[in-house]
Amino acid sequence: MSLNEHFVARYQELARTRPPMELLRRVMTGDEFPSDEVDPLCTEDPTHPYGRRVLLQTEHAEVMLATWTRGTPCAPHDHGGSEGAVRVVRGAAIHWQWQVRHNGLCLVREERVKAGDVLEVKSGLVHSMGDAGEREPLVTLHFYAGPIDHMIVYDINHQRTLMVDGSCGAWLPWDAPSLIRCMLPGIRSAGAFSEAARHDRAASSEAKASSHAAS
């Protein structure tokens, strides 16, 4: 059994169906993560807020280990309808929660979380994280119920809202534009993308009707 398989074997049964949040939190809180298990799986990526190592992925769940870059918090984002739990394996994090209000992104909570703490990431939550600067760099384990098909990521500096592919991390993928599914001006809620799609379909139908009438 490879080290990766050994590390995630405890989660394989849990990932056979979509686990409820209460079960996720209990399992993630009770586990221990020895350094000899974690160290070989840490994947640094100084070009992004964290290195992303997917450990387990099924039709019902995803487990991912994030190795964070100091001084580079991730962008505010949601998880496209998935929910999950995040455990701080090493170091400490600053965790921010946001809400879209009046076409802007408002900070509603800031907290410091340490090794062993578990955060609930409920469906629809907009949040961001970053390394809090402890002696050990931040490493977090993420267990999402429901594979992440897409995420909404917010570009605060340029006031844009992006829908990105679920394989993207929680950042603005300007270095990989193929991961951007759609982009809207302004700070918008996730529902704005459905509204934009309906508008596009209606405009397309009108265009086809006009074309048929003209012919």
Given this model, what pLDDT does residue 30 score? 81
- 190: amino acid identity, one letter: A
Q: How far is CA 163 from CA 91, 116, 142, 186, 191, in A?
A: 30, 31, 20, 13, 11
What's the alpha-carbon Rg for the chain, to the nearest Å?
19
**Residue 8 pLDDT:** 73
Q: What is the pLDDT of residue 198?
A: 59
pLDDT tens-digit profile, the chain (215 residues): 455 666 677 788 888 888 888 888 888 888 778 888 889 999 999 999 999 999 888 888 899 999 999 999 999 999 998 999 999 999 999 999 999 998 899 999 999 999 999 999 998 999 999 999 999 999 999 999 987 889 999 999 999 999 999 999 999 999 999 999 999 999 999 999 987 655 444 444 444 445 545 55
**CATH number where 151 lies:** 2.60.120.10
Identify whether the C-beta of residue 147 lies closer than 8 Å to the C-beta of residue 82. Answer: yes
DSSP conformation class of 168: S
Q: pTM for the whole thing?
A: 0.86
CA distance 156 to 76: 8
**In which domain, by residue range, is 61 found?**
3-214
On whether the CB atoms of residues 92 and 134 are closer than 8 A, the answer is yes
Per the structure, the count of domains in the chain is: 1
d(Cα 175, Cα 193) in Å, to the nearest integer? 23
Question: Is residue 108 within 8 Å of residue 95, measured between CB atoms?
Answer: no
d(CA 107, CA 24): 26
